[in-house]
Amino acid sequence: MREPVVVPDAGAVRPEGAGGLPFAVDDPVLARAAWSRVAEPADAVAGALVAHLGAAEALEWVVDAVRDPARALCGSAVEPLGSTVAADRLMEAVARWAPRLDRLDPRRELRVLERFGGTLLVPGDPRWPSGLAALGVEEPFALWVRGEPDLAALAERSVALVGARASSAYGDHVATDLAAGVADRGFTVVSGGAYGIDAAAHRGAVAGGAATVAVLAGGVDRFYPPGNQDLLRRLADGAGAVVSEVPPGSAPFKQRFLARNRIIAAMSCATVVVEAAWRSGALSTARHAARLLRPLGAVPGPVTAGTSTGCHVLLRDGSAVCVTDAAEVAELAGPYGADEPPERDAHEVPAPGRAARAVSRRGVPAEVEALGDRARQVWDALPARASAGLDALARTAGLAPGELLAGLGALELHGLAAQEAGRWRRVRRDAGRASRGTSGG
Amino acid sequence: MREPVVVPDAGAVRPEGAGGLPFAVDDPVLARAAWSRVAEPADAVAGALVAHLGAAEALEWVVDAVRDPARALCGSAVEPLGSTVAADRLMEAVARWAPRLDRLDPRRELRVLERFGGTLLVPGDPRWPSGLAALGVEEPFALWVRGEPDLAALAERSVALVGARASSAYGDHVATDLAAGVADRGFTVVSGGAYGIDAAAHRGAVAGGAATVAVLAGGVDRFYPPGNQDLLRRLADGAGAVVSEVPPGSAPFKQRFLARNRIIAAMSCATVVVEAAWRSGALSTARHAARLLRPLGAVPGPVTAGTSTGCHVLLRDGSAVCVTDAAEVAELAGPYGADEPPERDAHEVPAPGRAARAVSRRGVPAEVEALGDRARQVWDALPARASAGLDALARTAGLAPGELLAGLGALELHGLAAQEAGRWRRVRRDAGRASRGTSGG
C-alpha cells in the first residue's frame, strides 16, 4: 500500500553544497522540496521564477542574487521574467528567501517524511492531482503526503466539504451526513483537518467507507490541531491521506491556513461550504473555488443563529448553488448528468407524514384526493353532515351538470358518495380509521 | 376610518329581474359582485367575457345563452371572442355558470358586507390595488373587503410573507421577526390568514405597527380557519384588512385556496416564502409571483427537517433570492436601491463573540491582529515560550530583514514584543485578562 519515498538519485546529489548551499540542487525533485521550504505558500514570485528557470536553476539563481544582486538581475536568465515580475519585486523576494538558504536541508526533511512512511509528490508525477495546475504560479512546489500517495486517483472524483471550526451541532450533523453520503457514492472527501465542520466531514467520509484527504497548513510530521490527532492518524494510516505543501517541521501559521485553502479548492471537483459564519475562513476556500470556476455549493441553515450567514451570503450573491443532501452534492461534483439526484419524491423523508396530517386536518380522505380535482370539487360541495340535490350541488361547486355527474359518479364508484331519493351525501369510509389514526398522533 | 359600502345607485337597479335574473344587471358594480358569485375564482373564460362585453352585458349574454345557446353564439356580441375562447369552451362555461344564475342576489350579499362595515371594490376604483391588473383575464371581478378599504394605499409598499400551515417553531419565529421588521420599515404584510407561517406573519406585522392584509379563500363574513378568528377580527377592526374575491357566504374550497394565492402574489411588491416543505401550497403563491415577474425570495432553514425543502428548491433552481432578515426582504420589495440593507457588519449579531472566541483559542491577542498581516506574521514566528534571534525569525517568518524589523518595531511599540541582548520574545499583556475572561465562558 505504501509507495517508497521519492529519494533523489544519489548520483545527482553532489556531496558538497554548490553555490553557497549545503546541498546540490541539480535534482529537480530535491530542488522543489527545497523551494517548499524557502518560499511561503502561494508566493507568486517564487512560482514565476521556478516556472521560468526550473526549480534547481531558480534556486541557484537566488543564491547568486544574494551574493551579487546587480549581476543576477542583469543576467540573461531572468530577463524575460521582467515583463511579469518587476525587478524590485524580485529583489524583495530574494531578501525574503535569503534567510532560509543557509540552513536548507531538504534531504533531512525527506528522511523525516520517510520515517513516517510518507511520499513527496511534485508536478509531473502521475500521482499529482491535475486540478492543482489551475493555480498557475501559485501551484504548490511539492506535496508532502502521508497515507495514500496517489492523490490523482483520490482527487478524480472528489468534493471539498469545508466550514467553520466553531460549528454548531446542526453543522456537524449535516457535514457528517453529507460526507457519508458522497463517500457512499464513491467520492473522496477533501477538507482541512480542522475542528468543527472539517473534522465532521472527515469522520463522515470514513464512516461512509471512502478515502478522505486532509490538507494541513503545517508539516505532516505534526498532526494539528491536537484534538484531531487520532482522526488525522487514522487518515494517514489507511483511511486516506494527510497532505501539506510545507515540509515537516513547519508550523501552521495563519497565512499558511489561508494559502492552504487554495489547494483544497483546486484539487477537488467541487467545493461545498457546509456551515460558515460571516467571517469564517471557509469562505476563502469558497472564493478560491469560484476564482477557479469550480462548482461551488453552500448548505443553508437556520437564519436565526448566524452560524450559516456565510453560506447565505454565497447563496444570495449567486456564487454558490443551494445544496441540501448528498445527492445534490454528488450532482454538483460529478461529471455533467452522471450524478443527477433522484426525483424529490423518492428521497424526501418527512413529506408523507406531513401531507397526511394536512389532509386529515381538512377532513378530506386521501381517496378523494386521489380521484383528481373534479371529484375533489364535488366532494367540497357536498355538505359535511347532510345531503343536497343536484341543483344545489351544481351551484355550490360551480360545475356544469355533466361535470357534476361525472364527479359524483367517480365518488360513488369509490364508495365516497351516495344518493338517496335524488339527494347526495358524503360517505366517510375512513371515519373510524381516521379517528383511530389521529388519536395516537 | 370606515368608507361607506359601494351601494349601486338605486335608480340603476330595476326592481324586477331582467332576462331571467331576479335583479337588474345594468349596474356595473353590482354586475361584478354577481360575477364574483357566478364564476369560480380565476375562471379565465368568465374574465375574457367580462373584459369583452363589460360585466353587466356579459351577465345578460349568459342568461340569453342558457335560454338559446345557438342564437347566443351566433350573436355579434361574442363573435370577436372566438379568437381567444373556442365556442365549445364558452358553452361549457355557460353550463358551469347556469346553476348559479337563478338564486343570484348580489344586493343581499352587499347588505351582509355592509353589516360587517365592509366595502366592495372593483377595478377602476382608486382604492383597487393596481398590481392585480397583471393577472389579465384572471383578475378578480371584485374584492369584498373588511377593515381598511384603501387596498391601493396598503399595497403600494407591501410584501407577501407566506408559508406552510404545518410550520415549525423556527418558521414561526422567523415569520414573526421578518414581518415585524418590514412593518417597522413601512411595509404592509400580505398573507393568507392561515395557520402557521401566515398567522405568524400577520401577528408580527401587527407587533411591528404596520397594516397587514389577509386574503381569504372563503367569504369575509366567516373568519376561517376558526383558530385565527381573533387575529382576523383584529385585522378587520383596524389593524389592516381581510379580503376575499368570493362573496359572503362562500365556503373556502380547495380550489379557492389555490386561486386566492394569485391575489396575494399580484397585489404585493414581492413575495417571500418563509418556510415551506416540498408540497406546500405556499409554493403556488411563489409560482404566481414568478409568473408575474415579481421579486421572489425564500428564507433558508435547516436541511435536516424537511420543513424548508420548498424554500431550498426555489433557491436551488434560481427562482428565488436567498433572504435572511428584514433588511434583505425590504431590499427585495422596495423600489430599486431605496432599501439597501446595511453593511453586513452593522447588523450581524453573533460575529464579535465568535471571533473573539476563535482568536483566543489560537492565542493571538486582538492587538496583534489589529496591527495587520505583517505584524501577525512576525508574531507567529516568535516562539511562544522563549526568545529568538533576528536570523531565526527571518527564516521562520519567511520575511526579508527590513520587513521583519518593521513588524518587530510595530509589535514593540504596542508592547507586544520585547528585545533583550539581540533576542526577541513575545509579551502577553492580556494573559491575565484572557484567563479571567475565559474562565467565565
Q: What's the pLDDT tens digit per position in A210-235?
A: 999 999 999 999 999 999 999 999 99
Domain membership of residue A125 (yes or no) is: no
Name the residue with higher pLDDT: B353 or A73: A73
Minimal C-alpha gap between A396 and chain B (Å): 8
Distance from CA of A83 to the nearest CA of B (A): 23
Torsion of CA A348, A354, A356, A361, to 10 degrees: -160
Q: For residues A99 and A80, state if they share a domain.
A: yes
Q: Give the gap in angstroms from C-alpha A398 to the nearest C-alpha of chain B.
A: 6
Q: Is residue B4 domain-resident?
A: no
- Contact (CB<8Å) B325/A303: yes
Of A349-363, B147-161, B208-222, least confident by mean pLDDT is: A349-363
Instruction: Give the pLDDT of residue A340.
Output: 60
Pairwise pLDDT comparison (A6 vs B21), residue with the higher score: B21
- A353 Cβ contact partners less than 8 Å away, ≥ 6 residues apart: none
Residue at A123 is within a domain = no
SS percent in chain B: helix, strand, coil, step 5: 50, 10, 35
Judged by DSSP in three states, B242 sits in: strand
User: What pLDDT score was predicted for residue B387?
Assistant: 85
Inter-chain touch B96–A308, beta carbons under 8 Å: no
For the ranges A289-303, B54-68, B172-186, B294-308, the lowest mean pLDDT is seen at: B54-68
Q: Give the domain-ending residue among B297, B320, B347.
A: B347
Q: Cα(first)–Cα(last) distance of chain A, in Å?
A: 55
Could B306 and A402 be called an inter-chain contact, meaning their C-beta atoms sit closer than 8 Å? no
Same domain, A337 and A190: yes
B306 with A350: Cβ contact below 8 A: yes
Strand order in the sheet with B240-244: B119-121, B143-147, B240-244, B212-215, B188-191, B158-163, B271-275, B296-298, B321-322
The rounded distance, in Å, linking the Cα atoms of B135 and B291 is 10
Domain that holds residue B230: 130-347
Predicted local distance difference test score (pLDDT) of residue A191: 98
Query: Closest approach of chain A CAs to the CA of B322, in angstroms?
Result: 5
* pLDDT mean over B117-133: 97
Q: In B222-236, which positions are buried (b, 16+ CB within 10 angstroms) versus exposed (e)? A: bbbbeebeebbebbb
Chain A residues with beta carbon closer than 8 angstroms to that of B298: none
**Which pLDDT score, from 0 to 100, does residue B108 have?**
94
**Nearest-by-Cβ selection for B322 from A173, A316, A350:** A316
Q: Residue A153 falls within a domain, yes or no?
A: yes
pLDDT on residue A437? 33
Chain B residue numbers touching A313 (CB-CB < 8 A): 344
Dihedral sign for Cα B46, B49, B52, B53, please.
negative
> Given pLDDT bands bounded at 50, 70 and 90, which one contains residue B23?
low
Give the pLDDT mean for B278-304: 95
Q: H or E segment at B162?
A: strand B158-163
End-to-end CA distance of chain B: 54
| Same domain, yes or no: B182 and B266 | yes
Q: Is the pLDDT of residue B432 over 50?
A: no
Alpha helices in B340-389 (DSSP H): 344-347, 351-362, 366-370, 373-381
Higher pLDDT, B377 or B331: B331
Which of A314, A347, A380 corresponds to the end of one domain?
Answer: A347
Is A3 part of a structural domain of the chain? no
In this prediction, residue A337 carries a pLDDT of: 59
Based on the domain organization, do B209 and B263 belong to the same domain?
A: yes
Q: Which of A40, A322, A348 sits opposite B315 (nearest CB)?
A: A322
The answer as to whether A407 is a domain residue is: yes
Whether B205 has a pLDDT exceeding 90, the answer reads yes
Specify whether A382 is located in the same domain as A259.
Answer: no
CATH number at residue A426: 1.10.10.10
Specify whether A329 is located in the same domain as A409.
no
Q: Name the strand (E) or helix (H) holding A237.
A: none
- Whether residues A277 and B350 touch (CB distance < 8 A) is answered with yes
Residues A368 and A375: beta-carbon distance below 8 Å: yes
Among chain A residues, CA nearest to B373: A255
The values of phi and psi at residue A191, to 5°, are -155, -170
Angle at A295 between CA B333 and CA A266, to 5 degrees: 135
Convert A101-137 to b/e letters by CB count within 10 Å (16 or more is b): beebbbbebbebbeebbbbbbbbebebbbebbebbeb
* Residues A434, A382 share a domain: yes
The pLDDT of residue B30? 94
- Which residues of chain A register pLDDT less than 50? 1-18, 345-362, 431-441
For residue A250, the chain B residue with the least C-alpha distance is B396
Dig out the grid coordinates for B219 from the structure. 367569504
- Let me know if residue A113 belongs to a domain: no
pLDDT band at B191 (very low <50, low <70, confident <90, very high): very high
From the CA atom positions of chain B, what is the Rg in Å?
32
- Whether B323 and B381 map to the same domain: the answer is no
Confirm if B198 and B172 have CB atoms less than 8 A apart.
no
Identify the residue among A195, A224, A246, A303 best suited for mutation to test binding to B, counting B beta carbons within 10 A and taking the highest.
A303
C-alpha torsion A56→A62→A65→A71, nearest 10:
30
CB contact (8 A) between residue B300 and residue A322:
yes
Interchain pair B300, A306: CB under 8 A: no
Is A145 within 8 Å of A120 (Cβ atoms)? yes
**Does residue A367 belong to any structural domain of this protein?**
yes
Q: Apex CA B93: angle with CA B89 and CA B97, to 5°?
A: 175
Taking one residue from A and the other from B, the number of pairs with CB-CB distance under 8 angstroms is 187
Element (H, E) at A159: strand A158-163
Calculate mean pLDDT across residues B366-388: 84
* CB atoms B358 and A325 under 8 Å: no
What is the chain A residue with the closest CA to B39?
A398
A-interface mutation test, from B303, B317, B390, most A Cβ less than 10 A away:
B303
Which band of pLDDT confidence, cut at 50, 70 and 90, is reported for residue B332? very high
Q: Which of A35, A66, A96 to mutate to test binding with chain B, by most B CBs within 10 Å of its CB?
A: A96
pLDDT category at B349 given cuts 50, 70, 90 is: very low
CB contact under 8 A, B309 and A40: no
Residues 6+ apart with CB under 8 A from B420: B387
Tell me, what's the pLDDT at B440?
31
CB contact under 8 A, A301 and B301: yes
pLDDT at A429: 61
Decide which of B302, B319, B347 is a domain's last residue.
B347
| Amino acid in the structure at residue B274 | V
Q: Do A382 and A315 have their domain in common? A: no
Dist CA B241 CA B55 (whole Å):
26
Q: Identify the DSSP state of B374.
A: H
Dist. CA A237–CA A231, nearest whole Å: 10
Task: Determine, for residues A96 and B398 on separate chains, whether the beta-carbon distance falls below 8 Å.
Answer: yes
Q: How far apart are CA A298 and CA B322, in angstroms?
A: 12
The pLDDT value recorded for residue B78 is 76
**In this prediction, what percent of chain B has a pLDDT beyond 70?**
84
| pLDDT, average across residues B49-53 | 93
CB contact under 8 A, B376 and A401: no
- From chain B, the residues in CB contact with A277 under 8 A are 350-351, 354
Among A247, A252, A102, which residue's Cα sits nearest to residue B384?
A: A252
Is the domain of B24 the same as that of B96? yes
Answer for the pair B188, B213: CB distance below 8 angstroms, yes or no: yes
Of residues B92, B174, B308, nearest to A304 (C-beta): B174
CATH of the domain at A161: 3.40.50.450
* Residues making up chain A, counted from first to last: 441
What would the grid cell of residue A7 be? 529519494
> How many structural domains comprise chain B?
3
| Residue of A91, A308, A315, A377 to mutate for B, most B C-beta atoms under 10 A | A315
pLDDT band at residue B360 using 50, 70 and 90 as cut-offs: very low
Task: Determine the average pLDDT of the residues in B222-231.
Answer: 96
Q: Give the Å distances, CA to CA, from B150 to B186, B336, B386.
A: 16, 24, 76
- pLDDT at position B340: 60
The alpha carbon of residue A303 is apart from the nearest alpha carbon of chain B, in Å, by 6
Q: Give the closest of B305, B316, B344 to A350, CB-based.
A: B305
CB atoms within 10 A of CB B183: 23
A299 and A168 inside one domain = yes
Same-domain status, B135 and B174:
yes
pLDDT one-digit tens code per residue, A296-334: 999 999 999 999 999 999 999 999 999 999 999 999 998
Closest residue in A to B173 (Cα) is: A304
CA dist B61 and B55 (Å) reads 10
* Residues present in chain B in total: 441
pLDDT given for residue B435 in this prediction: 36
Q: How far is B329 from chain A (nearest CA, A)?
A: 12
pTM of the full predicted structure?
A: 0.78
Query: Using CB atoms, which residue from A177, A303, A306 is nearest to B300?
Result: A303
Whole-complex ipTM? 0.76
